[in-house]
Structure 1
Amino acid sequence: MSFKSVNDILEVLEAQAEWQEQPFQRLLKCWAEVVGPVVAAHTLPSSIERDVLRVGTSSAAWAQNLTFERQRLLLKLNEKLSIGLVDIRFSTALWRRPQQAPKEQQTMSLREHPSYVGDQMNVAHDVTSATKDANAAFQDWARTVQARSHGLPLCPLCDCPTPPGELQRWGVCSVCAAKQSFT
Structure 2
Amino acid sequence: MMRKRKTRQLSTVDGALQSAFTRLGLSGKLAQQRALVIWPEVVGPQIAAATRPLHVRDGILFVATKSSTWAHELIFRKAAILAGLEQVLGKGVLNDIRFLGRGYRDPEVASAPEGRVEPGPQEWGEVSLTADDQALLEERLQEVHDAELRARLERVMAHDLRARRWKEAHGWPRCPQCGLPHAGPAAECHLCRPRWTGRP
Structure of higher CA gyration radius = 1
Higher relative contact order structure (alpha carbons within 8 Å, sequence separation ≥ 6):
2
TM-score of the superposed pair, with normalisation by structure 2: 0.39
TM-score of the superposed pair, with normalisation by structure 1: 0.42
